[in-house]
Amino acid sequence: MIIVMQAGAPEEQVQEVIRRVSELGYHPHIIRGTQRTVVGAVGDERGKTKLQSLEALPGVENVVPILQPFKLASREVRPQRTVVKVGDVEIGADRLALMAGPCSVESEAQLLDSAYAVKAAGATILRGGAFKPRTSPYSFQGLGEQGLKLLAKAREATGLRIVTEVLNPQDVPLVARYADILQIGARNMQNFALLNAVGEARKPVLLKRGMSATIQELLMSAEYILSHENYDVILCERGIRTFETATRFTLDLNAVPVLRKLTHLPVIVDPSHGTGYADFVAAMARAAVAAGADGLMIEVHPKPEEALSDGVQSLTPARFAELTRQLALIAKAVGRSL
Amino acid sequence: MIIVMQAGAPEEQVQEVIRRVSELGYHPHIIRGTQRTVVGAVGDERGKTKLQSLEALPGVENVVPILQPFKLASREVRPQRTVVKVGDVEIGADRLALMAGPCSVESEAQLLDSAYAVKAAGATILRGGAFKPRTSPYSFQGLGEQGLKLLAKAREATGLRIVTEVLNPQDVPLVARYADILQIGARNMQNFALLNAVGEARKPVLLKRGMSATIQELLMSAEYILSHENYDVILCERGIRTFETATRFTLDLNAVPVLRKLTHLPVIVDPSHGTGYADFVAAMARAAVAAGADGLMIEVHPKPEEALSDGVQSLTPARFAELTRQLALIAKAVGRSL
Amino acid sequence: MIIVMQAGAPEEQVQEVIRRVSELGYHPHIIRGTQRTVVGAVGDERGKTKLQSLEALPGVENVVPILQPFKLASREVRPQRTVVKVGDVEIGADRLALMAGPCSVESEAQLLDSAYAVKAAGATILRGGAFKPRTSPYSFQGLGEQGLKLLAKAREATGLRIVTEVLNPQDVPLVARYADILQIGARNMQNFALLNAVGEARKPVLLKRGMSATIQELLMSAEYILSHENYDVILCERGIRTFETATRFTLDLNAVPVLRKLTHLPVIVDPSHGTGYADFVAAMARAAVAAGADGLMIEVHPKPEEALSDGVQSLTPARFAELTRQLALIAKAVGRSL
Amino acid sequence: MIIVMQAGAPEEQVQEVIRRVSELGYHPHIIRGTQRTVVGAVGDERGKTKLQSLEALPGVENVVPILQPFKLASREVRPQRTVVKVGDVEIGADRLALMAGPCSVESEAQLLDSAYAVKAAGATILRGGAFKPRTSPYSFQGLGEQGLKLLAKAREATGLRIVTEVLNPQDVPLVARYADILQIGARNMQNFALLNAVGEARKPVLLKRGMSATIQELLMSAEYILSHENYDVILCERGIRTFETATRFTLDLNAVPVLRKLTHLPVIVDPSHGTGYADFVAAMARAAVAAGADGLMIEVHPKPEEALSDGVQSLTPARFAELTRQLALIAKAVGRSL
């Protein structure tokens, strides 16, 4: 931490800061500049949040952190990249992980149609919501456990692995009984009770970035799960809130190279939620792979115009198959495969 | 809903839209413009999310909703303003509700000192976190039930009412046993499992706006609680995420007049989290009252520089007392009292 | 500047940074932390942008500036507050400056009606656009010099001072011939050619914050004008771009206390553009005064529904008169007058 | 336009809206819904801004535009894609346009070194700023005409075409004398005086998206230039302002497929300004090509750590050469060439 004093802060205020820094177990280091005095606090970073409160002391202008606040998620701690294994599917390896399926599980026919179609096109993981977080209490809220059973049936029928969202800490054991990967949705990225619960489950977790979460906050939420010694965390960029309304969210592909620099965890991208419109999904899926993503999550529905949720952003099976052919070419161009 | 066709959409696509609109139980109404055809769907608004998926039909450019999606929260349904009663304290009435106290409950001494101080300055409700949502798993997470007990003790000692946050649906009965008002934090505004749980509790709920939530989404989250027939919902503006970094968040006071126009629910403002710096709290607290807020939530700590969380934005008791004197004048200027 | 080295950066990279810092005329100061080495660069801040490029050196993680980049605009340089004098009207003094009038000058009748009405209600400065920046080339672009002549006529008739926007550096002498205050619009806040031109004019300048400009950037743009020794700069908050769509922009009142802390320049607020809707103007105008603004700029039009621009956000003369009565009470509550 | 009445608006208010719509030359079309009445205004779209002001009428809730406000830039008007020709270089054709060079022209040696290097790696257009828009008046402002002369010299020496920014309408003839493409920077995207001036110049224009401009606003600014019958407009995505600070801006690649859907104009991407860090440029450049961009603009400097501006985001010639090898593979994968 660097503690910047106000211009003209009297010596006794500087001395008070030095006293407090020492008291908290750090070694103070003073730099007297031409305009300002700066106090460095040297020492183990644990408990550094206590230093932050020194900003409330008289004469202190601000307190600047020097270290990244995440540890287990950091590449500094673990330089080699994590590969999450889900049965025989690997996420974070050279072969891209393709997750696809409907927004919500609506019926057996709808789910199986979707599952066979996405498998035929190259997907290895089936997505589908049984518990749905909906902005409106009047919207379809998902089939619940019945939906989970249909997902398990689809796995049996197709061999695809299953990723599905969990909303309530209490439901984690139930969902973990059926799913191969537990999904934490964007709206729950900082639902710490839920993060702790999936940290305790012995299942891989797909953690979606909150729509107003910084990349650092995403990594701090991953840190919650990792701190329970659940190391199988997959990060997912799915669009952030900005002023632009031509897309439903702004898919932030910059997060891909930033995360590859900061963390060893695999990173996938969801261009369906990220853009909100089927017409833009293919371009952004290709771009995600070119940027270095480890996989994609894409909404596919046999009849988008009849979907109970998110029809506007769902691809038909035919469009999805066409997309996977394009993705195979991009994957090859960046030294990977589909 | 208004369904806008693409320019030059052939007649059979228009007819298909008309057929679907009828099929879904609406009365279609066609306007043929010079460039585009538009189809209005007239009928009861329930189930309108199904219409939204028509955007996936060929020839449809977009689907424009006409009605606000919230009902119970709307002033159209209930024009008279809601007053939430918490013992003898009213929120939404002429007298402003002043909630104040430390970010976290840290110890009996810290809490009681805070409680006596804020009461002396005019507060009627004590805030204090026992379960703390923290970005980092390594930060202080709150005292849990021990903190709740200290809050109850402070209530007994001072007569102040208690507002405190609940993070986990499972904890709702526990927290409801101690608190007078259950707080839903900004990070949980769209934690629908938690909204349903506090909807079921027979306690007033303080619902904070998510840091990237639109005002419409805030009202939809209130709708979740109201739809459980828990009508005692207090809305709270606490700052949104923008590009500006001079403040920790951007306190969006515009939300106050917008909410007063759209809803009958009371609206309070939290300038401590909204700005993130003690130096800006007084100005924004005054502004909130002038804009028409029904109350304020303000962080006060006996020794901000030693706070275990949010010391930078906490007022000392002396600064808080000075602020309430200013607020009384502003309240009077807008025809209210403190 | 603080230069933070990467964890594990080898000693020769640290030495290279030290060498460069010295070479650029600063005194290097090394702090060796437990995880990282940090190099402070002590010396006169001029030319510090050169230090920023050191971030491109091997082993450097980032370069953190310690000082604010503005000087002439800073309260550190000039603690007493600036009062801009426009004839007998003062901006930045105890009495609030009330600027009002139509968005565009449309006709003599429209302008004079507006001028008499806003004067009667307490305004001392008349606003009105002769050169209009319009998103669309097909929208009304203003009356040009004819509009300036009408403004001059309105000044003669009413004694009000005139503020009007200038768009093109070439037009500065022309506009300065008619106006008392030159307005730089939000879209031109970083039009540096225009800032230099109004810096050279011997006229007060009203500088609006760009809709995606940080407060620091606003002060840097003021610095451009001040650096031409034109010290009569008035800052204006008028709403920033965020994700919220219930208001046209998000009026950022937090800017008021932030600017009062950072700068000696007067600060006014434009709630008409800031909210985009007449219904929200009064609440935000009151809030601005309560937050400490030195004045307001408000759009008033005799017949908003016939306005050639911005009718939706314009007050009628009657609503404006009602607002000024409210403002007088708020002004008094914060120790000022209208 | 669709004019939505408030719930319960009395019949006379509806009739008044109908009267005004007719008066303004539109054909009114009424839909009476179960909750609300809606009035469609059918007719030629010119002058539709006048309809917008009807939102100020009593009983009107809001006015919803149906048509996009741009015309000449729209694919509806011109379905075939525009190819801008600059000598023998084409922008918008199958072969990608690669623009590269230093942020600022600093010296003959620096510019020629850059030019030879980017040419060797495959660039066909040299970028370099002679007039620099700088946030601070104390930063390097560019060499002015001397810089333009060096650019012309570099063109002579290498055969590369030249793109350079113009800041002041007055300077357009001067810059047009030296440059092959006139660049409008992000901060000037809504500098309408400048847009009109480059519209009048008979030179191709590279129009950068403003950092808080919507895609629709970008197209409206293009419309200004097109309306002067200058049809050679190249659009450039360069990053928008969001809350994320891990990158300097958020490069919004979603704009690429959105623009390809809405307009016939070519679209290029600037990942150097878009991310602000050299480490992220390659990933985002690849992603831009995969998303369908027609070209790239990339900052390359022989010695980034000595650059007078933007060193942190500049590639060395070696990194740039490596990038172009990757880009050639991605281009091939999407059916294009470099």
- For residue A15, pLDDT over 90 is answered with yes
CA distance linking residue B310 with residue B303, whole number of Å: 11
**DSSP category for residue A93:** S
Location of each CATH 3.30.70.1140 domain in chain C: 2-64
- Taking residues B12-24, what's their average pLDDT? 91
Residue to test with chain C: of B74, B254, B315, most C Cβ within 10 A? B254
Q: What is the pLDDT of residues B247-298, one digit of tens each?
A: 999 999 999 999 999 999 999 999 999 999 999 999 999 999 999 999 999 9
With a cut of 70, list the residues of chain C below it in pLDDT: 44-49
Q: Under a CB-based contact definition with an 8 Å cutoff, are residues B223 and A136 in contact?
A: yes
Q: Phi-psi bin for B169: left (phi > 0), alpha (psi -120 to 50), beta?
A: alpha
Q: With beta carbons under 8 A apart, name residues in chain A contacting D247.
A: 254, 258
pLDDT of residue C25: 85
Contact (CB<8Å) A330/D332: no
pLDDT of residue C46: 58
**How far is C-alpha A56 from the geometric centre of its chain's CA atoms?**
33
Q: How confident is the model at residue D154 (pLDDT cuts 50, 70, 90)?
A: very high
* C 183-222: CB under 8 A from D: 187-188, 190-194, 210-212, 217, 220
Q: Is C66 on the interface with A (CB under 8 A)?
A: yes
- Taking residues D17-35, what's their average pLDDT? 86
Spatial CA neighbour of D173 closest among D151, D145, D208 = D145
- Taking residues D261-283, what's their average pLDDT? 97
CA distance linking residue B287 with residue C284, whole number of Å: 8
Q: What is the mean pLDDT of chain A?
A: 93
Q: What is the pLDDT of residues D209-251, one digit of tens each?
A: 999 999 999 999 999 999 999 999 999 999 999 999 999 999 9
Q: Is D241 on the interface with C (CB under 8 A)?
A: yes
Q: Is C34 on the interface with A (CB under 8 A)?
A: yes
Q: Under a CB-based contact definition with an 8 Å cutoff, are residues D211 and D197 in contact?
A: no
Q: With beta carbons under 8 A apart, name residues in chain A contacting C65.
A: none
Which chains lie within 8 Å of chain C at 3 or more CB pairs, if any?
Answer: A, B, D
Residue to test with chain D: of B5, B66, B70, most D Cβ within 10 A? B66
Q: What is the pLDDT of residues A38-68, one digit of tens each?
A: 888 887 665 566 788 888 888 998 888 877 8
Q: Lowest mean pLDDT: which of B272-286, D58-72, D160-174, D215-229?
A: D58-72
Which chains lie within 8 Å of chain D at 3 or more CB pairs, if any?
Answer: A, B, C
Which chains lie within 8 Å of chain B at 3 or more CB pairs, if any?
Answer: A, C, D
- For residue D68, pLDDT over 60 is answered with yes
Q: What is the pLDDT of residues A202-214, one digit of tens each?
A: 899 999 999 999 9
- For residue D177, pLDDT over 60 is answered with yes
pLDDT of residue B45: 63
Contact (CB<8Å) C312/D133: no
CA distance linking residue B243 with residue B254, whole number of Å: 17
pLDDT of residue C69: 84
Residues of chain B with pLDDT > 90, as a percent, come to: 75
Q: With beta carbons under 8 A apart, name residues in chain B contacting D76.
A: 7-8
Contact (CB<8Å) C192/D134: yes
- For residue A34, pLDDT over 90 is answered with no
Distance in angstroms between the alpha carbons of the first and the last residue of chain B: 44
Q: What is the pLDDT of residues C8-38, one digit of tens each?
A: 899 999 999 999 988 888 888 888 887 788 8
- Which ranges of C71-200 would DSSP assign to H, the alpha helix? 108-121, 145-158, 172-178, 192-200
- For residue B43, pLDDT over 90 is answered with no
Residue to test with chain B: of A192, A208, A226, most B Cβ within 10 A? A192
Q: Is D18 on the interface with B (CB under 8 A)?
A: no
Q: Is B6 on the interface with A (CB under 8 A)?
A: no
Helices A255-262/D278-291 angle, 10° precision: 140
Q: Which tokens belong to D205?
A: 């224009």
Instruction: Please give, rounded to a whole number of angstroms, the shortest distance from the CA of A293 to a CA of chain D.
Output: 10
Q: How confident is the model at residue D46 (pLDDT cuts 50, 70, 90)?
A: low
- For residue B47, pLDDT over 60 is answered with no
Q: Which tokens belong to D84?
A: 């801008």
DSSP letters, D76-99, are: TT--SPP-EEETTEEESSSBPEEE
Contact (CB<8Å) B31/D44: no
Residue to test with chain A: of B306, B312, B313, B314, most A Cβ within 10 A? B312
pLDDT of residue A24: 85
CA distance linking residue D236 with residue D257, whole number of Å: 13
CA distance linking residue B211 with residue B185, whole number of Å: 10
pLDDT of residue A8: 85
Superfamily grouping for domain C84-333:
Aldolase class I (3.20.20.70)
Count Cβ–Cβ pairs < 8 Å, chain A vs chain C.
Answer: 57
* C 274-333: CB under 8 A from D: 278, 304-309, 311-312, 314
Contact (CB<8Å) D66/B33: yes
Instruction: Please give, rounded to a whole number of angstroms, the shortest distance from the CA of A215 to a CA of chain C.
Output: 17
- Taking residues D185-205, what's their average pLDDT? 96
Count Cβ–Cβ pairs < 8 Å, chain B vs chain D.
Answer: 58
Q: How confident is the model at residue B177 (pLDDT cuts 50, 70, 90)?
A: very high
Helices (H) and strands (E) in chain A, counts: 11, 14
Residue C311: phi and psi, rounded to 5, are: -60, -35
Residue A125: phi and psi, rounded to 5, are: -130, 135
- For residue D178, pLDDT over 60 is answered with yes
pLDDT of residue B48: 61
pLDDT of residue C286: 98
Q: What is the pLDDT of residues B82-137, one digit of tens each?
A: 999 999 999 999 999 999 999 999 999 999 999 999 999 999 999 999 999 888 88
Q: Is C243 on the interface with A (CB under 8 A)?
A: yes
Residue to test with chain A: of C42, C45, C61, C258, most A Cβ within 10 A? C42
DSSP letters, B18-50, are: HHHHHHTT-EEEEEE-SS-EEEEEES--TTHHH
* D 73-132: CB under 8 A from C: none
Instruction: Please give, rounded to a whole number of angstroms, the shortest distance from the CA of D206 to a CA of chain A.
Output: 21
Q: Nearest chain D Cα to C50, which residue?
A: D308
Q: Which residues contact D208 (CB under 8 A, 6 or more apart)?
A: D183, D184, D185, D186, D189, D236, D238, D270
CA distance linking residue A40 with residue A167, whole number of Å: 43
Over the range C185-222, which residues count as b (16 or more CB within 10 Å of their CB) and which as e? Answer: bbbbbbbbbbbbbbbbbebbbbbbbbbbbbbbbbbbbb
Q: Is D68 on the interface with C (CB under 8 A)?
A: no
Count Cβ–Cβ pairs < 8 Å, chain A vs chain D.
Answer: 133
- For residue D47, pLDDT over 60 is answered with no
Q: Is D178 on the interface with C (CB under 8 A)?
A: no
Q: Is B144 on the interface with A (CB under 8 A)?
A: no
Location of each CATH 3.20.20.70 domain in chain B: 84-333
Q: How confident is the model at residue D48 (pLDDT cuts 50, 70, 90)?
A: low
- For residue A93, pLDDT over 70 is answered with yes
CA distance linking residue A92 with residue D154, whole number of Å: 45
Exposed/middle/buried for C65, CB within 10 Å: 0-12, 13-18, 19+? middle
Q: Which tokens belong to C131?
A: 């050169």
Contact (CB<8Å) C242/A243: yes
Q: How confident is the model at residue B26 (pLDDT cuts 50, 70, 90)?
A: confident
Q: Is B273 on the interface with C (CB under 8 A)?
A: no
Q: How confident is the model at residue D153 (pLDDT cuts 50, 70, 90)?
A: very high
Reduced to 3 states (helix: H, G, I; strand: E, B; else coil), residue D235 is: strand
CA distance linking residue A123 with residue A99, whole number of Å: 6
Residue type, D279: D
Q: With beta carbons under 8 A apart, name residues in chain C contacting A243.
A: 241-243
Q: Phi-psi bin for A101: left (phi > 0), alpha (psi -120 to 50), beta?
A: left
Q: What is the pLDDT of residues A217-273, one digit of tens each?
A: 999 999 999 999 999 999 999 999 999 999 999 999 999 999 999 999 999 999 999
CA distance linking residue C26 with residue C41, whole number of Å: 6
Q: Nearest chain C Cα to A27, which residue?
A: C33
pLDDT of residue B292: 98
Contact (CB<8Å) A49/B314: no
Q: What is the CATH number of domain D2-64?
A: 3.30.70.1140
How far CA C268 is from CA of C97, C288, D118, in Å, comes to 8, 8, 49
Q: Under a CB-based contact definition with an 8 Å cutoff, are residues B91 and B234 in contact?
A: yes
Residue type, C122: G
Q: Which residues contact B95 (CB under 8 A, 6 or more apart)?
A: B336, B337, B338
pLDDT of residue B286: 98
Q: Is C254 on the interface with B (CB under 8 A)?
A: yes
